[in-house]
Structure 1
Amino acid sequence: MFPSKLLTGALLAAASVAALAAQAPQAAPGAAAQSPQSALAPAASAAASFVPQAPEGAEPAVPGPTPPGISQNAEDDTFMLLREAARQDDAARANAIASRLPSYAIPSYVDYYRLKPRLRDAGEDEVRAFLKRWNGSAIADRLRNDWLLELGRRRDWANFDRELPLFVRNDDYQVKCYALLSRLAKGEKIGKEARALLVNPSGYGEACNALLVAAAQAGQLTQEDLKAQLRLAGETNSTGPARRAASLLGASDTRAAQAVDLPALAMARGIGKTAAEHEIYLVAVGRMARTSIKLATVALKKNAHKLSAEERAVGWANIALAASIALSPDAWEDWKLAAGAPLSQDQMAWKTRIALRQGDWKTVKATIEAMPSAQRDDPTWVYWLGRALQAQDRRTEARRLFEQIAEQNSFYGQLAMEELGQLVTIPPAAKAPSAAEVAQVAANPDLQRALKFFALRLRFEGTREWNWGLRGYTERQLLATAEFARQNNILDRMINTSERTRTELDYTQRFPAPHDELMQPTAQALGLDRAWAYGLIRQESRFIVDARSGVGAAGLMQVMPSTAKWVASKVGIGDYVHDMISDLRTNITLGANYMNMVLANADGSQVLATAAYNAGPSRARAWRSTLSAPMEGAIFIETIPFPETRAYVRNVMANATNYAAMFEKRPQSLKARIGTIAPRGASILP
């Protein structure tokens, strides 16, 4: 534990620490951290009620959790070895380890880890026996996902088509591509669906690459589609798909690979004669622009006379995208030169963002309206289209758009509320779940398995089981399950579960403030906004005390090791060692002090300080340095170049607004909180 004497000294010293912030290290603190909010959650059905029913071969309910990370017995350690053997596709070792677990608490996973490494060699009867035995369970759906991928790889469309309707989650990108391949093999028209699906070359894998080739060879993707695929591959740095698209266009796949990986070499080889070779050259121009906009511009201008008007526009669009991400002052002029080019979704988004920075509402409106419907319906673009219409005095149309998203308690939902003349308030709490309601959901074997996995620190498996168990729940049952999560101190699941309700609301579940006996005095001593601190923690760790990110950020406030050491030296923790970062009191002390430092060096802007906490002070400083005049906070946030940081700042600011409404018990303005971002000559932190 953190020594109380040192803590007192740290808090007293903190008020003068801001002046030392100019010596801060360049490492981003916590926010390269994982996002614990799972993407596994299936939508809850509208069933009127649901009582958990044990599936065929149901497992016994497992006991409640032990403290996180502590195995209950030696069998748990053996189970962890089994899981690792399966992850390494070591079938022989997995089988040997599984034989040592004849009566483990979660037998379905023992069976799964025994079968998964040898799925390619397993017989159909064995797979079907597993699916039958564990029918209705999350792990059976997981194996069906694996089996569908194997059937697709084998091109066994008869069995694939038989299994696909039984795949409950149906959320695997590769499976979706195989599904279209299966239909194509039967002679169906799938071009439109393939065009809509094939937008993420970096995730194509075997299935989607095969779909691209087969659809093109069947004449269901046009030459223009293939050119778009080549551009998209270049845009996403995806060499394999670039090679395939080039080959399908009749061009050299080697030159396409060079355009993506070695753009300077590809440009030096010349522009070529065919339309496909021109496209490869333009990919190289776009890739070069990510490194040197100047060299890319020179190369495009040098060969402009050999290109058609549309090809020149495509080249400028590629440069404009890179210039936009760099927040270059030339980006706006580059987009003007790109007029008439077919744009990717990312290009449309960035053209809109640069138009926002320019205050060109006409272009904002036109570009959003040109987006595909799925992109256009995102709350981001619904809001900005509303603002564009409002700027053109089309207030009735704008109001309709704001009303579409105002009920969403999100960054853009809150901004839409303010455009409608409302502030952020905390809705009346629903009736608290009774003990009987909590007991009912607690008996759900899926949730019990989740608790077991959480006790073993297997959050991925635990989250999968938890979300599976929520299928068909009513809003009352969701509230009761969130309360069950609170009672078991699994606050990330409490938040996620409670956020699924639409009419039965409990914001103490959605926006908890645990450990306030530590946070409140710490924030008070620093003069730090407690609502902002909790808003950041909710985004950083979802209150998982022992959270660890892939880059080493740790604890509730996801503090990076180098940052923790530096801050500790500034607040008087002279005997700080790395393991102390896992202590809750120490983690809050270091994280809160660092927040205060970056805030002081951001002239009090929570937006800039939040961006610095996530992406690092030097990046936040660089983004601010692009400003030549004060900018609306929402526009600055929307034009943060890093997608992760952009979403992070949005979420922290929206969270903080909700926490302020809870703590202060009065309506809050998100617009006032994010304010205006002004230029500054001095650095945020060196």
Structure 2
Amino acid sequence: MKKVLCGVLGVVTLLVGVSTPAAAAEDRFQAGREAARAGDLGRLNRLIQEAGDSPLDGYLSYWALSIRLARRENLDADYAAFLAREDGSLLAERARADWIRASARAGRWDIVRSQGPLLRQPEQEMNCWLWQAKIAAGSPSIASDASSLWNSTSEPGEACAPVIAALSVLKTADAHWQRARRLLEVQHFAAARATLARLPANEAPQAQQIAEALENPLLFLSRNHPPIDRPSRETLVLALSRLAQIDYRGAAARLEVLGPVMPAADRGYLASVIGWQAARANQPDALTWYHAAGKAEQSAESRTWHVRSALRAQAWGDVRLAIDMMGPDQRALPEWTYWHGRAEKELGRPREAQDDFARIAGQPNFYGMLAGEELGHPFTAPRAAAPASREELARVGNDRSIRRALALLRIGSRVDGVREWNWAVRDVNDRFLLAAAEIARREQLYDRAIYSAEKTRTEHDFGLRYLLPYYDTVEPASRRWGLDVYWVYGLMRQESRFISVARSSVGAQGLMQVMPATAKFVAEKIGLPFSADQVRETDTNVTLGTAYLRMMMDRLDNQMALASAAYNAGPGRILRWRTDQPVEGAVFAETIPIAETRDYVKKVLANTVAYAALLTGKPQSLKSRLGVVQSALSPDAPADLTRLPAADGTAQPQ
């Protein structure tokens, strides 16, 4: 294995085709950024006069235009010149979006109509400005063009709210109430109220009652009698749906009382909402409520929880039925393709099961690996693509956006640097991606190397996807605590992408994203002299993170899936997520209530298998690492489980 590692870890010191910007250009950029923040246009213009051919100098002109745009100057000619000069760059995309936004606010719809279609990657806001321009021009296609916006559950915002208003005129009352239900499901209450306020006066509910139904459903339900018309009936459905989000059993009890006076479709919908909330709480009665829902209309998210509740109950007929009821796009996702195959297998239909597994087997993700094992093919790393040639490295290294990204990242301007890099590697071929990944690796920009290498479609290099930096620190720490080094790397890759200075929004730090409070707790347990400013030091961070993993393994039956979940969400939650009977690790992973932790566990374990396959050169089993999750902890587990914190602190309360 040592020889393999040396090959993977070897760093080529010659960087082809990537130039280092002069200190003067870096100073000019920093000064320009400060001038832009202060609105000092004069200082920016002087810096522009000093500019040379640094990849950073384009930002000076962009900032100057932004200041002038905010002052409402007429800049049509200047923007046209800048866009021509920066054609195809991220700065051109940003400048064009700024110009469109300002023009739309000024009612200059001709600019919006001419510039909107030229955006390379328009976000929803830009689409909405363009749709507004079409509405202003009386375009009859708005109903079809913007139909996705009506079905979206995102907050509409300044640009999209007028489009929603225009669409509402074309929509039926049914469509308004359905949209309100969808928005309530994601707790976008203001958008739900705004949707219903656009109903004709004779069909609209009372605004005060809608507000009370969403903000205080118990109070609303205590004050109101059985519904007598459609607005009161629909408002009652919203109130019960909102109550289910807070107390699904309370909503269930009220539905039992009110059900006889409600239409069957409403009862079915509410049963599915209650089933959804019960499933998210891992309650055994979830499936009963889904059965009561029958063929009622459900959201895509509710369908996923129908499957998960059936998996928890090992009710394979329900698993298959729930997946069959999904829309075609959702049904084709790897997780539901795999579980549909498993259901077919458990129900004695091996040929149909194999058809499902074959659709995703071999994909380097959690369910692709599991599907491969079902077909008798444990995961193996694909044969590495040919390394990027000197010519390919030179060509990619001279790409304007790559040069800008490298210059920005070298001076610590990480947000802009990452945006430039991601722009550079969009819509490019595999050879460009592999060369970009190799350049990033040589620059020790490990996160960009991984990002680029993961985007390849037919030519893959797992040595770039699954990098092994800091091996001289990680391997001894893993060995010290008796941990699988592949798992430690799989977790670290998911936590920080090997950015040693990474800091999360909640304060987790370093390669293993350790929270300060957790770091102090672990340091005390292992007798490590420690101060808060040491958390991001590589050796200390890895020592603390691996020691914590050892604690989790000791307390959680040596189960990688459980320990990974605990690292992200805290071990106390794990007790609430267990079932009344043993379940396979894949079922446990799929039914974790917190979406972030569910995704995290799958990715950490898939990373682990990929690292093992890459470094050993042997087929690897994901199922063996997942194991079977027992219904209760072993009698030898320490009693302090619920008092232990999470390591990274990123999972939000559920």
Match of residue 212 from structure 1 = 164
Say if 1:124 and 1:223 are closer, same or farther in 2 by CA, change over 3 A. farther
Which position in structure 2 is the counterpart of 1:535?
Answer: 490
**8 Å CA contact 2:571, 2:642 repeated in 1:** yes
C-alpha displacement of 1:535: 0.2
Matched, 1:612 2:566: yes
Change (3 A) 1:390 1:184: farther
CA distance in 1, matches of 2:443, 2:369: 31
Q: How far apart are 1:277 and its partner, in Å?
A: 2.6
Distance change >3 Å, CA 571–CA 452, structure 1 → 2: same
Note the 1:250-399 alignment, pairs <5 A. Answer: 250-270=204-224, 272-399=227-354
Separation in structure 1 between the aligned mates of residue 258 and residue 214 of structure 2, nearest angstrom:
19
Q: Distance in 1 between matches of 2:181 and 2:464?
A: 45
- Residues 364 and 211 of structure 1: CA distance in aligned 2, closer, same or farther (over 3 Å): farther
Tell me the amino acid that sits aligned with residue 418 of structure 2.
T
Is 2:191 aligned against 1:241? yes
Q: Which residue of 2 aligns with 1:484?
A: 439
Equivalences, count: 611
Contact 1:153-1:207 at 8 Å conserved across structures? no
Question: Hey, what does 1:11 align to over in structure 2?
Answer: none
How far is the alpha carbon of 1:490 from its aligned partner? 0.4
Deviations 1:141-165 (A, max 9, x none): 1222333444555565443232222
Post-superposition shift, 1:613?
0.6
For the residues of structure 2 that align with 1:96 and 1:355, how far apart are their CA atoms? 66
Quick one: which amino acid aligns to residue 265 of structure 1?
L
In structure 2, relative to structure 1, the CA distance for the partners of 1:580 and 1:63 (3 Å cut) is: same
**Equivalent residue for 2:64, pick from 114, 126, 141:** 114
**Distance between the aligned counterparts of 2:421 and 2:315, measured in 1?**
46
CA distance in 2, matches of 1:64, 1:652: 37
Q: Which residue of 1 aligns with 2:467?
A: 512
Partner of 2:74: 123
* Corresponding position of 1:227: 177
Contact 2:362 2:379 in 1 (8 A): no
Structure 2: which amino acid aligns with 1:262? N
Residue 493, structure 1, aligned to residue 453, structure 2: no
The 5-angstrom pairing of residues 173-188 of structure 1 reads: 173-183=124-134, 186-188=138-140
Shift of 1:272: 4.4
1:671, CA displacement in angstroms?
1.2
Q: For the residues of structure 2 that align with 1:542 and 1:390, how far apart are their CA atoms?
A: 37
How many percent identity over aligned positions?
36
Q: Deviations over 1:382-420 (max 9, x none)?
A: 222222333344433433332222242111111121122
Separation in 2, partners of 1:279, 1:117: 49
| Distance of 2:65 and 2:368 partners within structure 1 | 46
CA distance in 1, matches of 2:174, 2:221: 22
Q: Is the 8 A contact 1:242 1:257 kept in 2?
A: no
Provide Cα deviations, 1:280-305, integer angstroms capped at 9, x if missing partner: 22222222222222322233233223
Tell me: higher relative CO, structure 1 or 2? Use CA pairs within 8 A at least 6 residues apart: 1
Residue of 662, 678, 685 corresponding to 2:614: 662
Q: 1:189 to 1:369 in 2, by over 3 A?
A: farther
647-656 or 479-488, larger mean C-alpha shift: 479-488
- 1:66-215 equivalent positions in 2, closer than 5 A: 74-82=27-35, 85=37, 93=39, 95=41, 98-99=44-45, 101-102=47-48, 103=50, 105=54, 106-116=56-66, 119=69, 121-123=72-74, 125=76, 126-153=78-105, 156-170=108-122, 172-183=123-134, 186-189=138-141, 191=143, 194-215=146-167
Cα distance in structure 1, aligned partners of 2:487 and 2:514? 16
Partners of 2:463 and 2:22 in 1: how far apart? 23
Structure 1 residues 160 and 100: alpha-carbon distance in aligned structure 2, compared to 1, 3 A threshold: same
Q: 2:527 is paired with a residue of what secondary structure? A: coil
- Asked whether the equivalents of residues 181 and 214 of structure 1 are also in contact (C-alpha less than 8 Å), the reply is no
Per-residue displacement from partner, 1:624-681 (whole Å, max 9, x unpaired)?
2xx1001121111111111111111110010000111123321101111111111115
Q: Is the 8 A contact 2:149 2:164 kept in 1?
A: no
- Residue aligned with 2:535, SS: helix
Residue type at the aligned position of 1:589: T
2:100·2:112 contact (CA, 8 Å) conserved in 1? yes
Q: Which amino acid aligns with 1:255?
A: Q
The residue type equivalent to 2:556 in the other structure is A
Q: Are the structure 2 counterparts of residues 606 and 254 from structure 1 closer, same or farther at C-alpha, using a change threshold of 3 Å?
A: same
Answering whether residue 603 of structure 2 is matched by residue 651 of structure 1, we say yes
- Do the aligned partners of 2:113 and 2:134 also contact (CA within 8 Å) in 1? no
Q: With structure 1 as the length reference, what TM-score do the two structures score?
A: 0.83
Q: Is the 8 Å Cα contact of residues 660 and 668 (structure 1) preserved in structure 2?
A: yes
Match of 1:593 among 547, 557, 567: 547
Contact 2:69 2:75 in 1 (8 A): no
Q: 1:63 aligns with which of 20, 29, 41?
A: 20
Q: In structure 1, how many angstroms separate the alpha carbons of the residues matched to 2:420 and 2:304?
A: 36
Task: Please report how far the alpha carbon of residue 122 of structure 1 lies from its aligned counterpart in structure 2 after TM superposition.
Answer: 4.5
Is residue 202–residue 237 contact of structure 1 (8 Å, CA) maintained in 2? no
Q: Which residue of 2 aligns with 1:628?
A: 580
CA distance in 2, matches of 1:154, 1:351: 48
CA contact (8 A) 2:184 2:192 kept: yes
Report the Cα offset of residue 482 of structure 1. 1.2
Query: Equivalent residue of 1:582, what SS?
Result: coil
Deviates more, 1:352-361 or 1:264-273: 264-273
Tell me the distance in 1 between the aligned counterparts of 2:574 and 2:114. 52
Q: TM-score, normalised by structure 2?
A: 0.87
Deviation, 1:617, is 1.6
Structure 1 residues 79, 277: CA separation in 2 closer, same or farther (over 3 Å shift)? farther
Query: How big is the shift at 1:375?
Result: 2.1
Candidates 419, 423, 437, aligned match of 2:374: 419
Deviations 1:237-280 (A, max 9, x none): 11221112222341123332333333223323325433233222
Q: Could you tell me whether the CA contact under 8 Å between 1:264 and 1:288 is conserved in 2?
A: yes
- Once the two structures are overlaid, the 10-residue window that deviates more, 72-81 or 522-531, is 72-81
Q: Secondary structure at the match of 1:201?
A: coil
Match of 2:511 among 556, 568, 575: 556
SS at match of 1:303: helix
Residue identity in the other structure for 2:125? Q
- Taking a change above 3 Å as real, the CA distance of residues 180 and 638 of structure 1, as seen in their structure-2 partners, is farther
- Kindly tell me: are residues 355 and 146 of structure 1, through their superposed partners in 2, closer, same or farther at Cα, counting changes over 3 Å? farther
Do 1:198 and 1:208's aligned partners in 2 also have CA atoms closer than 8 Å? Answer: no
1:410 and 1:651 in contact (8 A); partners too: yes
CA distance in 2, matches of 1:412, 1:265: 45
Q: What's the C-alpha RMSD, in Å, of the aligned pairs?
A: 2.7
**What does the per-residue CA deviation read over 1:326-372, in whole Å, with 9 as the maximum and x for residues that have no partner?**
11222112212222321111111111211222223333223223223
Does the CA contact (< 8 Å) of 1:368 and 1:381 recur in 2? yes
| Whole-angstrom distance in 1 between the partners of 2:331 and 2:193 | 30
Moved more, 596-605 or 392-401: 392-401
How far the C-alpha of 1:123 sits from its partner, in A, is 3.0
Q: 1:300 to 1:531 in 2, by over 3 A?
A: same
- Provide Cα deviations, 1:47-104, integer angstroms capped at 9, x if missing partner: xxxxx9xxxxxxxx862599xxxx9864454344356x2xxxxxx7253553463345
Partner of 1:40 in structure 2?
none
* 1:56 match: none
Secondary structure of 1:115's aligned partner: helix
